[in-house]
Structure 1
Amino acid sequence: MRASQITETSIEAMVYGFYDKVRADAALGPVFNRALDGKWEQHLPKMVAFWSGVLLGTGAYLGNPMGAHRALPPFPEALFDRWLSLFADQLAETFELAPSAVIMEKAQRMARAFRLGLYYDPAKVIAARSTVS
């Protein structure tokens, strides 16, 4: 039965189900498994705390997600699209439509912020504009 409300229990189900998908995914699995080798047991509760903070305002997560992602070896920006696709699949399995839509909107905003934080290079934008003129 899918959850009609966002609760700690439904967030935990979402996070654990999502990362099961990620670990098995041909594109995302190698990136995540390499970064989290031997650390999955610590990472998953952090992600539950992160999403609990985002969705319920619990303040349970005290980390620096952008800093953590910047510390990773480079990975293709296109993986964000795959991440969002798997996340949408998990939301459809975990939640009814209304909470799923709320969560997906937040995830899409987060993905945009991470893309900008990790891949945006103003020098490249300026160079591209100067070649168009």
Structure 2
Amino acid sequence: MNRDIENLDDITLLVKTFYDELCKNPVMDHLYNKVMKIDWEEHIPIMVHFWGSLVLRSGSYRGDIIGHHHHVIDKIPLTLSMFEQWEHCFIETLDSLFQGTNTEKTKKRVTAMTKSLVTKLNINS
């Protein structure tokens, strides 16, 4: 039985594992590593702060999630399928590592955030 998400070390494990798994998908690997050319040493800590703020209410993230995604759209069209793949991988990663109240809340936040981004970014297909 896995334990629940409790601290930033857990968030760090989640984020690192998620991106390792996500980039096994050729479409997502192309998006993150070829198109966006993500600097993982810079990106991982930002995402740890983002998810720490959402899951643990750490308040450590200060950023513009919509603006960052608009920057990506300037380089490549984002599709509903990309967001669905992202969401599916995140939830699978959560399920493989954790279980409990924070984990279930995080799944709901992931789904809500995916829907919100798709709507705000006007992703139709």
Which one scores higher on RCO, CA 8 angstroms, separation ≥ 6? 2
- Structure 1: 5+ residue runs without aligned partners? 122-133
- Residue 79 (structure 1) aligns with: 82
Bigger mean CA offset, 27-36 vs 53-62: 27-36
Work out the CA distance in 1 between the residues paired with 2:49 and 2:12: 9
* Structure 1 segments (4+ residues) deviating >4 Å: none
- SS of the residue corresponding to residue 51 of structure 1 reads helix
- Residue 109 (structure 1) aligns with: 112
Work out the CA distance in 2 between the residues paired with 1:21 and 1:12: 14
Structure with bigger gyration radius: 1
- Residue 43 (structure 1) aligns with: 43
The number of residues matched between the two structures is 121
**Counterpart residue identity of residue 4, structure 2:** S
Q: Percent of pairs identical after alignment?
A: 24
TM-score (norm 2): 0.87
Give the 5 Å matches for 1:1-133: 2-37=2-37, 39-72=39-72, 73=75, 74-119=77-122
TM-score (norm 1): 0.82
- Structure 2: 5+ residue runs without aligned partners? none
The two structures, once aligned, show a CA RMSD in angstroms of 1.8
